[in-house]
Chain A
Amino acid sequence: MIAGLLDDFMIRATLAGLGVAFAAAPLGCFVVWRRMAYFGDATAHAALLGVALSLALSLPVLAGVLAVALGMALTVSLLSGQHQGTDSLLGVLSHGALAIGLVAVSFVSGVRVDLSAYLFGDILSVRPADIAVIWGGAILVAGLIAWRWSVLLLATLGEDLARAGGVDPRREQLVLTLTLAITVAVAIKVVGALLIGAMLIIPAAAARFLARSPEAMAVIAALMAAVSVLAGLRGAMLFDTPAGPSIVTAATLLFALAGLAGRLRG
């Protein structure tokens, strides 16, 4: 019965998209609160290099992406701990990773790779095994964040404040680094390396207009992301547009609507 349901590519796509929404939304809240937008981008762009590496070494793409994303996230995390105002450095890493990834893929690809699938996602081609991986990763990410929720919030407010409260901010930073790498690895199939950052930031930013507490913001962001997935996939069917960008377009429209609603409510 379930296997029969999963025969439908739209249902597979929807399940995969919802899994990504479930992980990206709460993590995205921390990305927004900690002003880590570039951090997310750099990690996502590095995933492309992971793709190239997997292809060159004939490894599973997931493994290569996870390894390179984790390496990039750790690097960025270390660098931003050492310097103040690393915005431009993160920008260099983010764009540099993207360019190097593109060059690397062109070296190994030949005819085997459809580059745009990795840049913008290929959600309509997910297989049941992909869905299992996506949901496994999503549950891991959401579980880690839920487990560390209070201390993550405290570390977000201030490192020294956290230390005085007996919390090691570096450990919490590591939790975010790890969850970011996992999210990138499971989301690349769905929205692609270029738009993972959007799935992190946009639902969370939209939720900010409506939320009155951090918990509410995470829940509203998850709902927004889920609605974006449903609406985006539907739109992609109706207008025959690429699915990943359609999902992000839907999220952007929701952001505008939430902004209006927030204004009206005062």
Chain B
Amino acid sequence: MSALVAIEGLRVRHGAQTVLDDVDLRIAKGEIVTVLGPNGSGKTTLMRAILGAVPLAGGRITHAPRLRIGYVPQKLALSPSLPLSVSRFLSLPTRRSVRACRAALAEADVAGLETREIASLSGGQLQRVLLARALLGDPQLLILDEPTTGLDQPGAAEFYRRIETLRAARGCAVLMVSHDLHVVMSASDRVICLNGHICCSGSPQAVASAPEYRALFGTGTGGALALYRHSHDHSHDHGCDHDHGHSDGADPGGGAGHAHGAPARPSAQETRRGVVR
């Protein structure tokens, strides 16, 4: 089966600075790929390159024929001088029916916002409206650039669960940028660790224990603490990493990561169900 997007030897420059170098990446139908990396590591640039928004200094990006991409940008510079309701926004540039809009908003978990002005939405609401708009195009590939910016941790965990549900229901592939590996772990099939080039990639567990990943993100944060333990408990044997206890509760990975494709529900998140709206 051919890939939705195939990137080979990609190189992107901004002025004199080489932002991306020698990046190879293939995204297959229906898989969830998460891109991690520090600020300025070229994550957004990679997403924009896939959209065709940046000139390539080298390499190739091939799309499957007539690929439908839904895109949720990292940020949107909305001008308050533009009076635009959510439902009108959803209908740009293609007119959508009232029913389709309502369904998409419900699917993105922001039902009932149709008549609000987009400039008046909170950051989290806007992200979800953007997701709804992306869904209306029935995408084969959803590109989400830090979709959980401005969400608290339970909110972010809930958001990623929703993405998994979406993938299961629609079969669309998802390429997303995130900063918190421990939150996306259970929802990702594959993780790419980016820092100008691809440092390491593979299953979330493999990346979490990779020395390249730890060199980039350190081991000092709460989320990384579990990873630190993980890397000492197991010497890179990812088949059995569900045995150790994650007592801090902040790690929704909870040993679910070994089950790609058959996502298990982490118990730490179960207890939070229903908190968000």
Contacts and interface: CB of A to CB of B under 8 A. Distances in A.
B269 interface: no
Interface residues of B, number: 25
Given A33-B79, A216-B83, A217-B83, A164 B88 contact: no
A174 interface: no
A163 B51 contact: yes
B83 A164 contact: no
A34 B79 contact: yes
Nearest to B76: A158
A171 interface: no
Interface string A204-238: 01001001111011000000000000000000000
B92 A150 contact: yes
Contacts of A159: 53
A163 B52 contact: yes
A103 to B, nearest CB: 35
Nearest to A30: B82
Given A159-B53, A160-B53, A213 B88 contact: yes
Interface stretch (B65-73, B164-172, B214-222, B238-246): B65-73
Nearest to B93: A150
Contact of A205 (B81, B85, B92): B81
A127 B73 CA distance: 51
Interface in A136-177: 150-151, 153-154, 156-161, 163-165, 167
A212 B115 CA distance: 10
Contacts of A161: 71, 73, 76
A150 B77 CA distance: 18
Which of A35, A157, A164 gathers the greatest number of chain B CB atoms within 10 Å?
A: A164
Interface in B26-58: 48, 51-53
A244 B177 CA distance: 53
A214 B93 contact: no
Given A165-B93, A167-B93, A214 B69 contact: no
A32 interface: yes
Contacts of A213: 83-85, 88
Contacts of B143: 164
Contacts of A211: 83
B93 A151 contact: yes
A153 B78 CA distance: 12
Given A160-B73, A164-B71, A154 B92 contact: yes
A198 B185 CA distance: 54
Contacts of B71: 160-161, 163-164
Majority DSSP secondary structure for residues of A touching B: helix
Interface string B192-203: 000000000000
Contacts of B79: 32-35, 156
Contacts of B73: 158, 160-161
Contacts of B52: 163
A31 to B, nearest CB: 10
B137 interface: yes
Nearest to B95: A150
Nearest to B130: A161
Given A150-B92, A157-B92, A164 B84 contact: no
B63 to A, nearest CB: 12
Contacts of A32: 79, 81
Contacts of A212: 83, 85
A34 B80 CA distance: 10
A158 B81 contact: no
Which of B83, B84, B85, B88 gathers the greatest number of chain A CB atoms within 10 Å?
A: B83
Which of B76, B83, B92, B134 gathers the greatest number of chain A CB atoms within 10 Å?
A: B92
A85 to B, nearest CB: 12
A165 B52 CA distance: 12
A37 B219 CA distance: 49
A156 B119 CA distance: 13
A154 B93 contact: yes
Contacts of A151: 93
Interface in B87-101: 88-89, 92-94
Contact of A208 (B81, B88, B134): B81
Contacts of B70: 164
Contacts of A156: 79, 82
Interface of B: 48, 51-53, 69-71, 73, 76-79, 81-85, 88-89, 92-94, 134, 137, 143
7 contacts: A153-B84, A153-B93, A154-B92, A157-B82, A160-B51, A164-B134, A165-B92
Closest 5 pairs (CB-CB, A-B): A164-B71, A150-B93, A33-B82, A154-B92, A163-B51
Given A163-B53, A164-B143, 14 more contacts: A33-B81, A153-B84, A154-B92, A157-B76, A157-B82, A157-B92, A158-B77, A163-B52, A164-B71, A165-B137, A213-B88, A214-B82, A214-B88, A216-B83
